[in-house]
Amino acid sequence: MSITMYGTDSCSDCMRARAWFKERGLDYHYVNLVDYPAETERVPGRDNGVEEIPAVVFPDGSQLVQPSNDELSAHVALLADAGIHLNGAAVRAGAERPVVVENADLGRFELLHDGGVVSFATYTSNDQSITVPHVETAPEHGGNGHAAQLMEGLLRIIRDDGRTITPRCSFAAAHIRDNQQHHDLVTSEQAIESEQAIE
């Protein structure tokens, strides 16, 4: 049983929702309203003819309009509790893997787990490069390797987007320095070398 999501490629919330589904391996049918404008008539939550996106329609007919990641998690968990299987398996919030998303509105990458942000990295952007000055994990989640998971997800995202990184945070620089497969993503090798001296 699949999910239908209406959106556009230029919508940051749509990209976030699509990343959320992809990270969980959930099947969904994406309808790009730019390519298929006639489909706008099917979009739930229309307000005086204006489409509010992303709009998500689930297999049972339930709908979410402009949902947050927490709202998606909660709704999928409700469907699982009701015995509605998505992608061939019931998905419960408690069984979710941590997922990294880019929250462009707040200027940070976030590691989400069990419906909350457990670690984040702030960034600024310049053309095709980002600068990361700070990485932080919530105190109650310290020691669980979440910051490293965050960095791996962050680096995967920027690699897919063709971006590079300047790590001004000593943790971010050390993580990249210790994982040679990521060295090609650094805007300048001096960035991680200079951070080594700061530590």
Q: What is the pLDDT of residue 171?
A: 94
pLDDT in tens, 27-55: 889 999 999 888 888 887 655 555 789 99
Lowest-pLDDT range of 10-14, 147-151, 172-176, 189-193: 189-193
Q: Are strands 116-126 and 108-113 parallel, antiparallel or unpaired?
A: antiparallel
Q: What is the pLDDT of residue 46?
A: 58
* Residue numbers of the domain that contains 31: 3-95
Residues 110 and 56 in one domain: no
Q: Look at residues 41, 60, 95 and tell me which one is the last residue of a structural domain.
A: 95
Residues 47 and 30 in one domain: yes
Q: What is the pLDDT of residue 60?
A: 83
Q: What is the pLDDT of residue 199?
A: 35
Q: How many domains does the chain have?
A: 2
List Cα–Cα distances, 43 to 20, 30, 36, 75, 132, in angstroms. 20, 12, 12, 19, 37
Best-predicted range by mean pLDDT (89-93, 120-124, 141-145): 120-124
Q: What is the pLDDT of residue 191?
A: 52
Please provide the average confidence, as pLDDT, over all residues in the chain.
82
Residues 87 and 25 in one domain: yes
Q: DSSP per residue over 1-20, as a string? A: --EEEEE-TT-HHHHHHHHH
Q: Determine the 3-state secondary structure of 49 from DSSP.
A: coil
Q: Look at residues 95, 127, 142 and tell me which one is the last residue of a structural domain.
A: 95
Residues 83 and 126 in one domain: no
Q: Are strands 3-7 and 28-32 parallel, antiparallel or unpaired?
A: parallel
Residues 78 and 106 in one domain: no
Residues 46 and 64 in one domain: yes
Q: Look at residues 72, 95, 118 and tell me which one is the last residue of a structural domain.
A: 95
Residues 103 and 91 in one domain: no
pLDDT in tens, 163-199: 999 999 999 999 999 898 999 999 875 554 544 433 3
CA pair distance 38, 136, nearest whole angstrom: 44
Lowest-pLDDT range of 22-26, 75-79, 90-94, 190-194: 90-94
The domain spanning residue 112 has which CATH number? 3.40.630.30
Residues 76 and 17 in one domain: yes
pLDDT band at 90 (very low <50, low <70, confident <90, very high): very low
Residues 89 and 121 in one domain: no
Q: What is the pLDDT of residue 97?
A: 65
Residues 107 and 171 in one domain: yes
